[in-house]
Amino acid sequence: DACRLAATASALRAAADSDEVWGSFLPADWADVLARCSTAGSREGETKKELFSRLCGSPVLLDGCNLSFSLDRRSGGKKYMIPAKALCYGWSGYPYGGLAWSHCHPHSRFREVAVLSHLCWLDVYGILNTKNLPGVGRGYAAYLVYRVHWLPTPNTAQKQREKATASSAAAICNHE
């Protein structure tokens, strides 16, 4: 709304771009969050509008790169991501399968990602400090972010194609 207001009336642009207006879009504890940044938290001379845009556009790492923080552009809600290393895993797999750690993965904001192979099922356990959650009576959601890679086996691709033609809703995952 602030951007629309500034676009319709040039006289209101200064008011719409003011730190007072954009400060209301930031969470109340934004200064405390930025103080925990492992990367560049606040930048000298950065306006609150620029800070809001940056936190919506690219996450910052907190607490020694053990937590990722960003803002939802629509709601202004906080978004946290816990690295794979901070979670516990239980799985059933084949004797030659298991858990390995991959360093500097190109698709991860964290230093390490978990690589699990040959799974039948997987349990994931994690703890997020409640001080990071919204206040009492406010909702929150938890998501498991993962990437699936199918390893090629004899006739895997052919079986996937047959399954996809049998059901239009089927998705085919190919080895990357």
The pLDDT score that the predictor gives to residue 43 is 72
Q: For a pLDDT cut of 90, what percent of the chain falls above it?
A: 9
- Alpha carbon separation from 48 to 30, 61, 68, 117, 124 (Å, rounded): 10, 19, 20, 44, 37
55-108 confidence digits (pLDDT tens): 999 899 988 888 889 999 988 888 888 888 888 877 655 555 677 888 877 888
Rg of the chain over CA atoms, in angstroms?
A: 22
Contact status, residue 71 vs residue 79, Cβ threshold 8 Å? yes
pTM: 0.69
- Alpha carbon separation from 137 to 49, 75, 131, 143 (Å, rounded): 28, 16, 14, 20
pLDDT at 171 over 70: no
pLDDT at 168 over 80: no
Residue with tokens 């930025």: 34
- Residue boundaries of the structural domains of the chain: 2-81, 86-124
Structure tokens at 157: 């691709």
